[in-house]
Amino acid sequence: MKVKVDPLKSSEYHQAEDLVEGVEYDVLAIEGDRFRVFSQEGPCRYPKSMFLITDSSIPEYWVKKSFDDSDEEKWESAWPVEFDYPGFFEDYFDNKPEAIRIFNAYIEKLGLKPELIVTEEGKLKRVR
């Protein structure tokens, strides 16, 4: 799935400052009413309403989940199977090496460059 910032709505969101209008972003996860994309700030969540969908295809290997948030509301989430463990992005943002390795391997498949790498010594190094 790919998206671009909707130029008609970007001024409504302060988060749009992290994104570049006209750039097509790979969606890393769908989390309820938000897309997770790899912005200048890393893999951040943004309201779906900020974007125009340019490619709606969801890879077959993504895990798709439905959650009942209340009796009348249901929302969908989907993410790569590699990210399918509780707290994956929390681990990533807590700089846990295994989550960073998993994330980097995934985004490199998309042709993106990681912002953090794990050195041979197991230490983190910022590369962005």
HSE at residue 100, side-chain half, CA atoms within 13 A, is 18
Residue 65, phi then psi, degrees to nearest 5: -135, 145
DSSP state of 103: H
Amino acid at position 97, single letter: P
**Sign of the Cα pseudo-torsion (98, 89, 93, 128, in order):** positive
**In the predicted structure, residue 8 carries a pLDDT above the cut 70:** yes
Q: Is the pTM of this model over 0.85?
A: no
Task: Give the distance from CA 56 to its chain's centroid.
Answer: 15
Residue 116 predicted with pLDDT over 70: no
Over residues 31-76, the pLDDT tens digits come to 989 999 988 788 899 999 999 999 999 988 999 887 765 554 555 8
How sure is the predictor about 102, in pLDDT bands with cuts at 50, 70 and 90?
A: very high
Domain boundaries, the chain: 2-126
